[in-house]
């Protein structure tokens, strides 16, 4: 192999240098250096841009949610019996007050409000920059008009009872007052009803109120306005479209369009989500939630609701249940965690009293009772309820037997079976009867013909208001005291709590009330189910933790978004 001498290399270098040309090796090194420099410069520029800016929500895009059923009356004083109607009404119409992401009350149309010292008068000043979607100004006359429609029985509003004994009057063009006969602290929740446009509905007679076109093509003053809807060949509404209200007085929502798609059953609804036809939906079958846990494109929101379930005892219809020891033992023998895991797959909260652990302004202060099967059996033994050969207990020839009623709701059906197993394991014979809700209400709850009933109770808005469920005046129908509970001290506590608007004072009254209830075992409190929303990861800004009604989960949708942009820090 011939090798070049040092002289030959020097000659080549001299020739290259004289010609001004770079060798291949030198070109490679130079170009590589330039490339690295440019990449570094670009990386530095991107890094600087990202460090000096922040990603923020951007206006635009649409949000599509799926629902079971279809709309009927998108009218805030008729919508209460239909979740879709309520959800749409909450976006289209405004109210004096509304609920935030934690189910606390906040101002909407109200610019300011006050409650008189005696708790009987609620005075509001409303905003002066609000317009209906057709451009007409909204005034206090619209609020008064809506309140009068609610109070008028010919308009068939389910809200009528809330305002029946209330005098509503104007205080100028933008002032309104509500005067009560007696102070009632939970009344603040009443004032979340949606406001109707007087200039449209004053021309519609009561006999045409349910049938008028505005119940499906409404004009409101909320963040979104009616656009149009689609129907199938049978005339059923399949999709309902809203557009953002350009003149909205509050925070401008990010989504320029909201679409509600309607489906006949949950499997079709879930399939629509999986095919990305919709961005989100509320799921009702808890056993189906697990399939979304591992999906990287989905997020699951557990939202607390003000509804709790328990087994309520009618001591007047059962010798065993009239024995406090039996009721106490049943409380110890109830494994609530087993019920929540097996029935709700973890999507429910334990309850131990009529005051929920965490919801709204008031929280339970009771120590959580501990499941203790051995203690339950010990209590029964010491009270002379002795086991017989068949495993069930007797006392003075009285069989420790409980006849329990519940509804055909699948979750309550499963809960009843678990309770039967748990209670029979300590020697209590349990007979179950499951009925549809109408039959249960008419033939058993109203005449109080039951020994034990697995049933639910609900807050008034975000207020526990235990008066209607536990005051002795509500023992008989149409009252809701289904435990037929009676205690003079409890009555007094509930009466006093209802009259004071001071939260700290009410909390103290509720704490005393809880202790009284816990000491007498009138029920076994079980759980409060969560509302579960499944949403695509592209939807941002969802921060809701609690809602007084699953239909209100869109109340803060002006904070939800899909598009983003970058702004300087």
pLDDT digits (tens, 9 = 90+) for 13-32: 455 444 557 777 777 787 78
What is the Cα–Cα distance from 70 to 431, expressed in whole angstroms? Answer: 38
Q: How far apart are CA 479 and CA 28, in angstroms?
A: 91
CA gap 201, 150 in Å, rounded: 13
Residue 436 is assigned to a structural domain of this protein? yes
Residues 263 and 336 in one domain: no
Return the C-alpha torsion angle 31, 37, 41, 44, nearest 10.
140
Residue 2 included in any domain: no
Q: State the pLDDT at residue 11.
A: 47
Instruction: Say whether pLDDT at 12 is over 60.
Output: no
Q: Round to whole Å and give the CA distance between 212 and 196.
A: 14
Residue 358: what pLDDT? 79
Digit-coded pLDDT (tens) for 508-561: 999 999 999 999 999 999 999 999 999 999 999 999 999 999 999 999 999 999
Which pLDDT band holds residue 334 (cuts at 50, 70, 90)?
Answer: very high
Question: What's the 3-state SS for 285-305?
Answer: CHHHHHHHCCCCCEEEEEEEC
Residue 370 included in any domain: yes
Question: Does 29 fall in a domain?
Answer: no
**Is 9 inside a domain boundary?**
no
Cβ atoms of residues 58 and 254 within 8 Å: yes
Q: Quick one: 271 and 405 in the same domain?
A: no
CA distance 181 to 186: 14
266-289 confidence digits (pLDDT tens): 999 999 999 999 999 999 999 999
The model carries a pTM of: 0.89
- Average confidence (pLDDT) over 221-244: 97
Looking at the structure, tell me whether residues 463 and 558 fall in a common domain: no
Contact 281, 532 (CB under 8 A): no
Predicted local distance difference test score (pLDDT) of residue 359:
85
| Residue 292 to residue 17: CA distance in whole angstroms | 69
Q: Within this chain, do residues 560 and 473 fall inside the same structural domain, yes or no?
A: no
pLDDT value at residue 357: 87
Q: What is the mean pLDDT of the chain?
A: 93
Residue 527: CB atoms within 10 Å: 23
- pLDDT (mean) for 83-90: 97
- What is the average pLDDT across 169-180? 98
pLDDT value for 353 = 95
CATH code (residue 228): 3.40.190.10
Instruction: Assess if residue 331 is contained within a domain.
Output: yes
* pLDDT on residue 362: 86
Instruction: Look at residue 414 in the predicted model and tell me its pLDDT.
Output: 98
Given this model, what pLDDT does residue 22 score? 72
Give the pLDDT mean for 369-396. Answer: 96
Of all residues in the chain, the percent with pLDDT exceeding 90 is 85
pLDDT at 6: 52
Q: How far apart are CA 60 and CA 226, in angstroms?
A: 17
Q: How confident is the model at residue 294 (pLDDT cuts 50, 70, 90)?
A: confident
Check residues 5 and 548 and name the one with the higher pLDDT: 548
Asked if pLDDT for residue 567 goes beyond 60, the answer is yes
Show the domain range for 257: 62-303+532-568
Specify whether 544 is located in the same domain as 421.
no
Residue 341 sits in the same domain as residue 403 = yes
Sorting pLDDT into bands at 50, 70 and 90, what band is 87?
very high
Q: Which pLDDT score is estimated for 7? A: 53
User: What's residue 13's pLDDT?
Assistant: 47
Averaged over 291-318, what is the pLDDT? 96
Clarify whether residues 293 and 311 are in a common domain: no
Q: Is pLDDT of 214 > 70?
A: yes
Structure confidence at residue 19 (pLDDT): 52
Same domain for 124 and 267? yes
Q: What is the pLDDT of residue 169?
A: 98
pLDDT score recorded for residue 451: 98
Average pLDDT over residues 101-119: 96
Residue 363 above 90 pLDDT?
no
CATH number assigned to the domain comprising residue 493: 3.10.105.10
**Do 484 and 556 belong to one domain?**
no
Residue-wise pLDDT for 516-529, tens only, equals: 999 999 999 999 99
Q: Are both 510 and 541 inside the same structural domain? A: no
Q: Which residues lie below 8 Å from residue 372, measured CB to CB, with a gap of 6+?
A: 332
Calpha distance 364→459 (Å, rounded)? 14
Contact, 338 vs 418, CB < 8 A? yes
- As for how many domains the chain has, the answer is 2
pLDDT at 42 (0 to 100): 82
Q: Helix axis angle, 410-424 relative to 336-343, nearest 10°?
A: 140
- For residue 236, pLDDT beyond 90: yes
**Does one domain contain both 78 and 188?**
yes
Q: Does residue 213 register a pLDDT over 60?
A: yes
The pLDDT tens digits of the residues spanning 426-472 come to: 999 999 999 999 999 999 999 999 999 999 999 999 999 999 999 99
What confidence category does residue 5 fall into, taking pLDDT thresholds of 50, 70 and 90? low
CA distance 72 to 215: 8
Strands (E), 232-378: 237-244, 257-263, 280-283, 298-303, 307-313, 348-350
pLDDT score recorded for residue 139: 98
Which has the higher per-residue pLDDT, 48 or 84? Answer: 84
Report if residue 12 sits inside a domain.
no
Residue 87: inside a domain: yes
My answer on whether 241 and 344 are in the same domain is: no
**369 vs 88, higher pLDDT:** 88
pLDDT, residue 9, reads 47
């Amino acid at each position: 192999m011939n090798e070049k001498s040092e002289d030959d290399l020097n000659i080549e270098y001299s020739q290259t240098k004289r010609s001004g040309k770079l060798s291949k090796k030198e070109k490679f090194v130079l170009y590589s250096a330039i490339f690295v420099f440019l990449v570094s410069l670009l990386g530095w520029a991107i890094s600087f841009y990202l460090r000096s800016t922040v990603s923020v929500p951007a206006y635009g895009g649409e949000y599509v949610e799926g629902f079971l059923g279809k709309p009927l009356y998108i009218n805030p004083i008729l919508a209460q019996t239909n979740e879709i109607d309520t959800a749409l009404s909450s976006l289209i119409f405004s109210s004096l007050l509304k609920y935030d992401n934690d189910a606390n009350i906040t101002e909407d149309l109200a610019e300011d409000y006050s409650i008189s010292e005696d708790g009987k008068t609620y005075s509001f000043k409303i905003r002066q920059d609000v317009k209906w979607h057709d451009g007409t100004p909204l005034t206090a006359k619209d609020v008064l008009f809506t309140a009068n429609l609610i109070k008028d029985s010919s308009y068939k509003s389910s809200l009528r009872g809330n305002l029946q004994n209330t005098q509503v009057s104007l205080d100028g063009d933008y002032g309104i007052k509500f005067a009560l006969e007696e102070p009632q602290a939970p009344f603040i929740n009443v004032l979340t009803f949606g406001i109707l446009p007087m200039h449209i509905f004053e021309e519609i007679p009561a006999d045409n109120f349910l049938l008028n076109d505005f119940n499906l093509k409404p004009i409101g003053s909320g963040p979104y306005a009616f656009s149009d809807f689609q129907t199938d060949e049978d005339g059923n509404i399949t999709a309902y479209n809203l557009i953002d209200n350009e003149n909205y007085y509050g925070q401008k929502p990010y989504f320029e369009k909201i679409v509600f798609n309607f489906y006949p059953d949950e499997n079709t609804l879930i399939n629509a989500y999986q095919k990305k036809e919709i961005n989100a939906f509320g799921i009702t079958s808890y056993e189906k939630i697990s399939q979304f846990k591992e999906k990287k494109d989905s997020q699951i929101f557990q939202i607390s609701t003000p509804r709790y379930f328990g087994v309520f005892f009618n001591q007047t219809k059962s010798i065993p249940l009239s024995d406090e020891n039996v009721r106490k033992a049943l409380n110890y023998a109830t494994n609530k965690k087993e019920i929540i895991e097996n029935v709700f797959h973890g999507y429910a909260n334990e309850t131990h009293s009529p005051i929920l652990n965490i919801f709204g302004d008031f929280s339970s202060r009771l120590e959580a009772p501990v499941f203790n099967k051995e203690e339950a059996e010990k209590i029964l033994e010491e009270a002379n309820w002795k086991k017989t050969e068949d495993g069930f207990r007797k006392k003075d020839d009285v069989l420790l037997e409980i006849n329990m009623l519940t509804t055909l709701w699948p979750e309550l059906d499963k809960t009843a079976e678990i309770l039967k197993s748990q209670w029979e394991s300590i020697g209590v014979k349990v007979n179950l009867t499951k009925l549809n809700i109408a039959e249960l209400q008419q033939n058993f709850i109203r005449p109080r013909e039951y020994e034990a009933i697995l049933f639910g109770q609900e807050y008034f808005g975000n207020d526990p208001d235990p008066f209607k469920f536990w005051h002795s005046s509500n023992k008989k129908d149409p009252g809701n005291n289904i435990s037929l509970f009676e205690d003079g001290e409890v009555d007094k506590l509930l009466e006093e709590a209802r009259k004071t608007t001071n939260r700290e004072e009410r909390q103290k009254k509720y704490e005393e009330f809880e202790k009284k209830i816990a000491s007498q075992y009138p029920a076994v409190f079980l759980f409060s189910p969560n509302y579960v929303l499944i949403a695509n990861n592209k939807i941002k800004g969802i921060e809701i933790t609690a809602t007084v009604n699953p239909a209100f989960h869109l109340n803060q949708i002006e904070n939800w978004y899909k598009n983003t942009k970058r702004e300087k820090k």
